[in-house]
Amino acid sequence: MNEVKKLKVPVKSIAGAVVTAIALFGSVYTVNEGHIGIVKRFSEAKEQVNPGLHFKMPFIDSVEEIEVRTRKNEEKMASSTKEQMPVTVIVSVNWTVDKSAALDLFRQYGGLSQFESRILDPRFRSATKDVIPKYDAEQLIQDRASAIQAIEVNFIEEMKDFPVSVDNIQIENIQLPSKYLTSIETKQTEKNLAAAEKHKLARQNLEAQRAVNTAKAQADGIELVAIAEAKAIKLKGLAEAEAITAKAKALGDNPLIVKLTEAQNWDGKLPATMLGGQNMPILDMRNK
């Protein structure tokens, strides 16, 4: 009996230590980065906590995480184009939960999965199906960005009363019947050829205009040179005429200038003959 009593004390101590350890471990928890912790007491959401180490009441409180990083939802749906062509589109949306409203979202919808299935996904499908029939097949292929913008406007309006933000929307894939795709490709090829021909014609016109401009510039240059030369000749003639006039005036005003000019131009030789007056013969002035 004594031995049995002695064994009972250690068993109780071990049990107490185990319970204490469980309580201690049960009172400590962590919330992962990119998530918000929702603390529930007897299954009722009480508060939200940020990522990191936290304490709670063991056996009473429990914690559930809500991701607040950007999430991506993808939908594949059948629709029809403006010309009633059957089309299947795959669209995706990136969205984020408002961190400050994580507790309210959990209280109303019970978590992200329920929020997506009940609220986000149906509205995203509706926003997409409302836009696709407004575009013909060629527009969807060639101007996908316009359709994306229209879907985004619709979806943001649908989600304005919920604690989430819409980051961006993409049309991942557009599936059309093969015969329509061939028709669109042929049409696009023709457009590309027409655009190339138009570009070629524009380039030829530009080169022709450049040649005309060059020829005109050369002609203008020749004309300017001719005008300059004519003006130079005219100015030279005017200068020479003015010089002659001035010289004639000077000679008229002073006859002695004529004598001076003759003296300056004399070569120092006397004339060889001299004409006589009346019946005087011509005299030979040379030495014999």
Q: Is 166 left (phi over 0), alpha (psi -120 to 50) or beta?
A: beta
3-state secondary structure at position 194: helix
Whether the Cβ atoms of residue 19 and residue 30 lie closer than 8 Å to each other: no
237 against 284, higher pLDDT: 237
> What pLDDT was estimated at residue 277?
53
- Cα separation, 99 vs 96, whole angstroms: 9
Q: Where are the alpha helices (DSSP H) in 56-177?
A: 102-109, 112-115, 121-131, 137-142, 144-158
| Dist CA 277 CA 287 (whole Å) | 22
Q: Say if residue 185 is exposed, middle or buried (CB neighbours under 10 Å; 0-12, 13-18, 19+).
A: exposed
Counting every residue written for the chain, the total comes to 288
> Residue 72 corresponds to which tokens in the numbers above?
């991506």
Question: Is pLDDT of 128 > 60?
Answer: yes
Which are the contacts of 235, defined by CB distance < 8 A and separation ≥ 6?
none
User: CA 134, 136, 137, 139 torsion: positive or negative?
Assistant: negative
pLDDT for the residue 267: 65
Query: Is residue 68 predicted with pLDDT exceeding 70?
Result: yes
Q: What is the predicted pLDDT for the residue at 22?
A: 62
What integer pLDDT is reported at residue 236 of this predicted model?
Answer: 81
pLDDT band at 240 (very low <50, low <70, confident <90, very high): confident
Q: Which residue has the higher pLDDT, 111 or 252?
A: 111
Q: How confident is the model over 71-93, as a mean pLDDT?
A: 94
Percent of the chain exceeding pLDDT 70 equals: 73
pLDDT interval class at 245 (50, 70, 90): confident
Domain ranges of the chain: 2-66, 71-176, 178-229
Does residue 68 sit in helix, strand or coil?
A: coil
pLDDT tens-place string over residues 132-166: 999 998 888 888 999 999 999 999 999 999 999 99
pLDDT, mean of residues 270-286: 56
Ramachandran region of residue 115, left (φ > 0), alpha (ψ -120 to 50) or beta? Answer: alpha
Structure confidence at residue 249 (pLDDT): 75
- How far is it, in rounded angstroms, from Cα 123 to Cα 182? 33
101, 165 contact by CB (below 8 A): no
Q: Residue 217 pLDDT > 60, yes or no? A: yes
Phi, then psi, of 135 in degrees rounded to 5: -120, 145
User: pLDDT tier at 214 (50, 70, 90 boundaries)?
Assistant: confident
Calpha distance 274→228 (Å, rounded) = 53
> Does pTM surpass 0.95?
no
Neighbours of 217 (CB within 10 A): 10
Least trusted range by pLDDT, from 66-70, 116-120, 176-180, 186-190? 186-190
Average pLDDT, the chain: 82
Determine which of 21-25, 62-66, 75-79, 86-90 has the lowest per-residue pLDDT on average: 21-25
* CATH number at 71-176: 3.30.479.30
Question: In this structure, how many other beta carbons lie within 10 angstroms of the beta carbon of residue 201?
Answer: 10
Structure-derived torsion over alpha carbons of residues 13, 19, 20, 21, reported in degrees to the nearest 10: 110
Q: Looking up tokens 């457009």, which residue turns up?
A: 191
Instruction: Measure the CA–CA gap between 124 and 169, rounded to whole angstroms.
Output: 10
